[in-house]
Amino acid sequence: MQAGKRQAVATRTAEAAGRLSILGRQISVGRLLAMIALVAVLLRVASALYQGDTVNVLPGVFDEVSYDGLARRVLGGHGFTFAQDHWPATKAGEPTAHWSFLYTLYIAGVYALFGAHPLAARLIQAVLTGLLQSWLAWRIGRRVFGQAAGLIAAALSAGYIYFFYYAGALVTESFYMVAILWALDAALRLGDRLAAGSDAPRPGANAWLWLELGAAVAVAGLLRQVFLLFVPFLYLWLAWRGLAGSGGWRRRAWAAAPGLLVGFVLATAVVVAAIAPWTIRNARAFGTFVPLNTNAGYAFYWGNHPVYGTRFQGILPADGPSYVDLLPRELASLNEAELDQALLRRGIGFVLADPWRYGLLSLSRAREYFKFWPSAESSTISNLSRVASFGLLLPFMLVGLALAVGRLIRRDDPRQGPAVLLLGLFIGVYTGVHLLTWTLIRYRLPVDSVLLLFAALTLVELAARRGWLTNAATAGPVSPSAVSTSSVSSSVSTFDSYL
């Protein structure tokens, strides 16, 4: 027992000193993180340079045609409109809310400063996301699984092909993933603060953290509104963290409820303040209530159309009806917002008319969502990105999930369990939303950014088992977490035998 305590203290002391020993060589954590961030930026800058100063129709990034066109129209004083009829069913010169307002303004702002050069927007995005995504992966990985896992998570994020490919494209994915990681990081810090607080915290305690969480959620929602569907689950997790504690649930609930209520109001107020201007704009533009974007109805209608039967296809085949062909002709006179709402009603009608087909169709979407193998209909760059990123790391992700769940069940570390629960909650909810609606591989990328944390856990376990990774203050292998059990689980032993 005393030896275990000394080992834990030594591990925490070494991590506090900011050094790790890799293959017998002591290296500064800060230096390693800087090197990882540099690699992340260089890879993303290379992607930006490859995609160039023109708007291209490359695999998975066709949205950049829309964002470039919208940004130019905004700069020209035409507002959020297109010069010609545009996807999905927006008529020339008519207002649109189908696309992220925030990302459009980002591109328009860059164009205003540097001229209409897509490469400028690509490069700025590449540098920012390269730094922020690797840094946030390190922060979350370190908090949940320890210093070494945080560094490996940052390295995996830096070199993940999907991530640096999309970082060079004028699409929302890269900034969106950064915003999600920011929200999760803020929530984890806030959750720890709530759990460690007194039985009767001041109602205004942790106000700045609540405001930060609201800002992160707002940015993520403004980039892709689908993230807002996760917010109720995030709030439930925070409520659980705030209410759990010693002294009994009932007494704790009465004491903590006022502070939680104030916190939820603060965070929600930030989100509402960020969205409200666009709600007002939409009411004026369309004459109807549209909180943010007009894309949920289109997605749900197309994603559950009877044309699929019970087998979903990510992209409709060229020899069949197109997405525009599937739009009801009797709705052609509606504006974009009215059509979005009408399509949502029809999509719900598809579900109610044949729930069994909807269930089978939703299950079939898993094949597209989790695709990790090459396919004949995909381009070479798509197949390479898929196999060499998600395909390569999926086994490590799954083993890491199994390890984390095992620790959660055994309650090896009470501080690690709640964090694992939040990360798992995001993976499950976000995946479920897309399996029930419409999915493409790129819609899974935010989940990949979290799954890489679990892949890092597996790699740390393997490195510790083989003696490749030791702590500067200890003689033996590092535990995969500064606060986790020192034993290596049997699942890693089995996995290790295949490497």
- pTM higher than 0.75 for the full model? yes
Lowest mean pLDDT among 208-212, 252-256, 335-339, 342-346: 252-256
Q: Per the structure block, which two tokens stand in for 260?
A: 């939680």
Q: Is 26 exposed, middle or buried (0-12, 13-18, 19+ CB in 10 A)?
A: middle
Does the pLDDT at position 352 exceed 90? yes
The pLDDT, as a whole number, for residue 183 is: 99
Comparison of pLDDT for 324 and 494, the residue scoring more? 324
> Which residue has tokens 């939703």?
362
The pLDDT, as a whole number, for residue 300 is: 98
The pLDDT, as a whole number, for residue 27 is: 76
Q: In what order do the strands lie in the sheet with 19-22?
A: 25-28, 19-22, 469-471
pLDDT tens-digit series, residues 222-238: 999 999 999 999 999 99
Considering just the CA atoms, what is the radius of gyration of the chain in Å?
24
Comparison of pLDDT for 244 and 277, the residue scoring more? 277
Peptide bond into 59 cis (omega under 30): no
Helix (H, G, I), strand (E, B) or coil at 20: strand
Peptide bond into 88 cis (omega under 30): yes
Does the pLDDT at position 127 exceed 80? yes
What does pLDDT average to over the chain?
A: 88
Q: Is 395 exposed, middle or buried (0-12, 13-18, 19+ CB in 10 A)?
A: middle
